[in-house]
């Protein structure tokens, strides 16, 4: 695997093992943002689920109410709050100017999804993100309350001397 110019050698756009090895291409193109044949709303849903799911932990374990009975509830509400703020940011990005920046094909992503980088597509993505974010946080909140996961929450709390 060597370093070769992507197209025009005089243009500084190189294909390197980092941006175009088989692993990188497989991983990046499998992400919900680039996986082919998904609607923008579905992409947003999946991206939101991942973000909502991982945001719950830090808020509930290290949040200001961590040592109270409301730690889990506060963690859930804080995650939903942050997901909502992120959704507003996504939305105003999509409405500003002539819409989202259209990503050109490059060494990693051969054909970026065209319908995502339009005003309508991005709005769909943002609404899917919000729904997925709230769902992911609620799922994490539910899981962290089960008897199977609660010991792990205590271990994590112990790592930050919170428990």
Partner 1 sequence: MNFYVAPAPAAGGGRGDPYSPSTGSSVRTLLTGVVNRFQPMTGDFAAAWLPSVLVPLVGIGLPAVAMALLFNVIEARD
Chain residues that interact with partner 1, rule: CB under 8 A = 85, 88, 92, 95-98
Least distance from partner 1 to the Cβ atom of residue 75, Å: 20
Query: What is the C-alpha to C-alpha distance for residues 142 and 116, in angstroms, rounded to an integer?
Result: 32
Least distance from partner 1 to the Cβ atom of residue 115, Å: 21
Pick 31 or 92: Cβ nearer partner 1: 92
At residue 4, the 3 state secondary structure works out as strand
Q: Which ranges of 63-144 does DSSP label H, i.e. alpha helix? A: 71-95, 119-144
- Find out whether 117 and 100 touch, Cβ atoms under 8 Å: yes
Pick 53 or 129: Cβ nearer partner 1: 129
Least distance from partner 1 to the Cβ atom of residue 36, Å: 29
Pick 72 or 127: Cβ nearer partner 1: 127
Kindly give, in sequence order, each residue whose CB lies less than 8 Å from that of residue 34, ignoring residues fewer than 6 positions away.
28, 109, 112, 113
Pick 48 or 100: Cβ nearer partner 1: 100
- Find out whether 135 and 50 touch, Cβ atoms under 8 Å: no
Chain length of the chain? 163
Pick 18 or 96: Cβ nearer partner 1: 96
- Find out whether 129 and 86 touch, Cβ atoms under 8 Å: yes
Q: How far is CA 143 from the centre of its chain?
A: 20
Least distance from partner 1 to the Cβ atom of residue 93, Å: 8
- Find out whether 34 and 112 touch, Cβ atoms under 8 Å: yes
Least distance from partner 1 to the Cβ atom of residue 91, Å: 9
């Amino acid at each position: 695997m060597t370093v070769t110019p992507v197209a025009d050698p005089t243009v500084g756009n190189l294909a390197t093992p980092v941006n175009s090895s088989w692993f990188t291409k497989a991983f990046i193109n499998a992400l919900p943002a680039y996986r082919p044949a998904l609607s923008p709303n579905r992409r947003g849903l999946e991206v939101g689920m991942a973000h909502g799911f991982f945001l719950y932990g830090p808020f509930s374990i290290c949040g200001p109410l961590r040592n109270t009975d409301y730690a889990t509830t506060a963690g859930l509400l804080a995650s939903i709050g942050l997901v909502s703020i992120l959704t507003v940011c996504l939305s105003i990005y999509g409405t500003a100017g002539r819409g989202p920046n259209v990503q050109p094909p490059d060494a990693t992503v051969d054909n970026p999804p065209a319908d995502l980088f339009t005003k309508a597509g991005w709005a769909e993505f943002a609404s899917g993100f919000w729904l997925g974010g709230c769902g992911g946080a609620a799922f994490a909140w539910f899981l962290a309350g089960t008897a199977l996961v609660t010991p792990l929450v205590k271990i994590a709390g112990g790592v930050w001397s919170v428990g």
